Structure 1
Amino acid sequence: MNPKVTVIGSMNMDLVAETERRPEPGETVLGEQFTMNPGGKGFNQAVAAARLGADVQMIGRVGDDAFGREIISHLAKEGMSTNHVEQVTDTSTGTATIVVSEGENNIVVVPGANHRLSPEDLENVEPTIADSDIVLLQLETPMDTVTAAARVARRHHVPVILNPAPYQALPTALVHQIDYLTPNEHEHRLMHHDALLDHFDNPLIVTKGSAGTDVYNHGKGSTVQGYTVDPIDTTGAGDAFNGGLAARLASGSSLTEAVRYANAVGARAVTKLGAQSGMPTHQEVLQLMDEMD
């Protein structure tokens, strides 16, 4: 039986315009290329876990619009259940409008329907959460909703991974209900600044890209070696890592084994263009590990 991963989080449509230079205020410039891709941290991580063989339940909200219908269709194509992805009528599907120029990104995120996922919604899907092997959370839905999701999972002794991105200070009530915390180096520094880690006693997993991943557990720290590849597109590398970690922990792997595997998932993902399109299969990850170990 495949491991059961429930991902609770954001689903966006990414609208990407590439141009030679960014427009000045009030100026219009001609773009070179436009692409539209499903995205959002929750959705990206769900796709990663599903490609690796997990049975993924996505819980979230989209608008009753063309983008929402496209996202639901894409979920189904990736083999994920759409039972708990509802379309809401009072706002649009979340979007990220991205202008790419001179090697830099300017991004405007409109959360839209992602902010319609409420704590009450999580109580209503309690049986699904209870039936999971692991729950994966991020911070692109309201903090009260994230806290409610962790609370429901803890009630049924289901482990919770929180990827604290995009970073914001975490309430103590949430910190106490997290089993695995996965910041990157920048988020880790902010957590120290906010003294959030003073209240966290469970595994802390700090991702550092090709430099590996630092794991702090029971007062001891160690580094799990990363994988060096020639990157093509680093978009979604962190989401790939978290999806891989969730899939492997849900299957019963030890923490060190799961982190090592997740490092390979992230490394393999950056060798392809696109966040979701770059998410590797289990066989692709094993091939990379065999070649480099």
Structure 2
Amino acid sequence: MLSASAPRAFVLGNFVLACCWHVGRQPMPGETLEADHFHAEPGGKGLNVAIGLRRLGADVQTLIGCGQDRAADALLALLTAEGLPNNHVHRLPGASGWGSGLIGADGHNSIAVYLGANRLLTAEHAHAARGSIGASQLVYGQFETSLAAVEAAFAIAHTHGVPTVLNPSPWRTPPQALAATTHTLIVNAVEAAALLNLSGDPVPTAAQATQTVAARLPALGGAWPALRRLVITLGAEGALGMERAAQAEPWRAWHAAAPRIQAVDTVGAGDAFASGYCTAVLAGQPLPVALAWGNLCGAHVAAQRGVLTALPGAAWLHQALAGTVDGAVPLSI
């Protein structure tokens, strides 16, 4: 799948012990429901992406903050089992992160996260990893960790000419310095609405979204000067990708349809998409192909319960690509 020399990725990780309850439907305020199934596993957006990239064949370094507790012991054991080094994993005062998810019968979820030690990482922790960041071929960040660490790592990557990929989730408006060093944004429909100032309404279906997004691209591109790609994941609708060669160049757009599946549990599907997308980027594939690889990995996780057991490996992706894969369709904007 990838070259004999594994491509290098650096992930601004995070760790939570994720507890998930499967319910028939989401409860109303004040209501108690009996769950049909429960599972707990190590998780977190950055950890999932780091493991996903490693399984798909990348050489991965990850910066993670964890606590002084048994959950952190479990994290270190997991990293060893997955072949991920722990030289940028820091055990910090207090508790590790915890997550709580409610998964409905339709596979959709609602999640609350206590980030704990993830928030204790600093810019200094990122600077201590400067060598690994500068030697990487892609740096991935998200917002379930210290914003200061993400900002510092992206600045280092930008200085070394390393492409950066940001999933600004949970959503908050990024500081100007971070926007100035972000090459690619990956957002879901709700995050895209906030990013594009759509009055809080989620981006509509792919068939309706293109012109809505395109109308706001000039303003977005000005606020994010280094931005070359915007990727919007739309669940069962697939993914929308927009790209420009340089700041003054026009945007081009593609839509990639998602594989048809019966969604069982969408927790972690976005992280799996990011892993597949970044794997394609590391392999030198163009944006339309990266969207398709992301869709395959995201659908694979959404069709199963749990995340760690569902994140695919390189052999699975190779086999999936040998079958019929819907390509991305160019769009007019």
TM-score w.r.t. length of structure 2: 0.79
1:229 paired residue among 253, 258, 261: 261
Match of 1:273 in 2: 305
How far apart in 1 are the matches of 2:306 and 2:265? 7
Shift of 1:101: 7.2
Shift of 1:20: 7.8
Match of 2:15 in 1: 11
Tell me, yes or no, if the aligned pair for 1:268 and 1:285 is still in contact at 8 Å.
no
Equivalent position amino acid for 1:204 in 2: L
2:236 paired residue among 210, 218, 228: 210
Q: Map Cα deviations across residues 179-229 of structure 1 (whole Å, 9 max, x no partner).
A: 111111221111111865542341111112232221111222221333222
User: Which stretch of the first structure deviates more once superposed, 154-163 or 275-284?
Assistant: 275-284
Q: Secondary structure at the match of 1:182?
A: strand
Match of 2:223 in 1: 199
Shift of 1:30: 7.3
Match of 1:172 in 2: 176
5 Å-filtered alignment, 1:88-127, equals: 88=92, 90-98=93-101, 107-127=111-131
1:49 paired residue among 40, 53, 57: 53
Q: Is the counterpart of residue 286 in structure 1 residue 318 in structure 2?
A: yes
Shift of 1:78: 1.1
Call closer, same or farther: CA 1:2–1:98 in 2, change over 3 Å. Answer: same
Tell me, yes or no, if the aligned pair for 1:2 and 1:251 is still in contact at 8 Å.
no
Equivalent position amino acid for 2:256 in 1: V
Superposed CA RMSD in Å reads: 2.5
How far apart in 1 are the matches of 2:278 and 2:104? 34
Tell me, yes or no, if the aligned pair for 1:162 and 1:181 is still in contact at 8 Å.
yes
User: Which stretch of the first structure deviates more once superposed, 210-219 or 66-75?
Assistant: 210-219
Tell me, yes or no, if the aligned pair for 1:241 and 1:263 is still in contact at 8 Å.
yes
Match of 1:59 in 2: 63
5 Å-filtered alignment, 1:251-266, equals: 251-266=283-298
Aligned residues: 291
Q: Map Cα deviations across residues 162-187 of structure 1 (whole Å, 9 max, x no partner).
A: 01111111122111101111111221
Q: Is the counterpart of residue 247 in structure 1 residue 310 in structure 2?
A: no
Tell me, yes or no, if the aligned pair for 2:109 and 2:267 is still in contact at 8 Å.
no
Match of 1:87 in 2: 91
- Percentage of pairs with the same residue: 29
Q: Secondary structure at the match of 1:77?
A: helix
Call closer, same or farther: CA 1:120–1:100 in 2, change over 3 Å. Answer: same
1:77 paired residue among 60, 81, 93: 81
Q: Secondary structure at the match of 1:148?
A: helix
Q: Secondary structure at the match of 1:36?
A: strand
Tell me, yes or no, if the aligned pair for 2:13 and 2:50 is still in contact at 8 Å.
no
5 Å-filtered alignment, 1:141-160, equals: 141-160=145-164
Shift of 1:147: 1.1
Tell me, yes or no, if the aligned pair for 2:239 and 2:295 is still in contact at 8 Å.
yes
Shift of 1:118: 0.6
Call closer, same or farther: CA 1:16–1:5 in 2, change over 3 Å. Answer: same
Equivalent position amino acid for 2:98 in 1: T
Shift of 1:54: 0.9
How far apart in 1 are the matches of 2:57 and 2:253? 30
Tell me, yes or no, if the aligned pair for 2:105 and 2:264 is still in contact at 8 Å.
no
How far apart in 1 are the matches of 2:65 and 2:50? 14
Shift of 1:139: 0.8
How far apart in 1 are the matches of 2:193 and 2:278? 23
Structure 1: gaps of 5 or more residues: none
Tell me, yes or no, if the aligned pair for 1:170 and 1:196 is still in contact at 8 Å.
no
